[in-house]
Structure 1
């Protein structure tokens, strides 16, 4: 991925956000998150990217918005929220519980304009995920 590709992605995303009166979660996934996954080198049409990755937590079933897989094992979970929303502690807990449940080391929580990266800690008796980086795009809502 080149600097010009990153710049083009950011400018395109900014334009989409500026033009949208509201961008719910589904539009954010398709218009902002999936192009980011492609930019990072993942093929959206291959088995290495799974949409709505299913898992069981407790007695219930749930799904991570995107799972990036290597040899059928998830290595990154991406949890998207609408661009018209703000990331909350409940959103962070949702993603980190997915990571713990499946032993996934990396997670990305995003609205398309806010990005928070998580890394699963393995240095304690109860591995937990913690935020390692928060980024908010300069003029994105």
Structure 2
């Protein structure tokens, strides 16, 4: 055997060793991919019941939202009715009450002015302007 053949044999042995060392990570990677495929398959199989449950929940929520829409519409109608009623009440009773209050204020002011004028004509002074003095 010549030196070239020995070198070729060593190179071939090193190449086989390299292939064996690279084959181990490739086999492990293959197993990992198989496990990932199995996990994805199981997740896909378990996703159907979850999606069906989510669909049922969304249907129930939509039904409840329709009920809430009805309640909101009724509350809006009641609010409009109360607003109209308060406007009618203000128009019918508010104006006469304001007029009555203004009239009574004017009458009481006129009575006070008349009493004050009458007291001034009699020569008496009102107690209002004199502090600390006894009558």
TM-score normalised by the shorter chain: which range applies?
under 0.3
Q: TM-score, normalised by structure 1?
A: 0.14
Q: TM-score, normalised by structure 2?
A: 0.15
1 or 2 for the larger relative contact order (CA 8 Å, sep ≥6)? Answer: 1
Instruction: Point out the structure with the larger helix share.
Output: 2
Instruction: Point out the structure with the larger strand share.
Output: 1
Bigger CA radius of gyration: 2
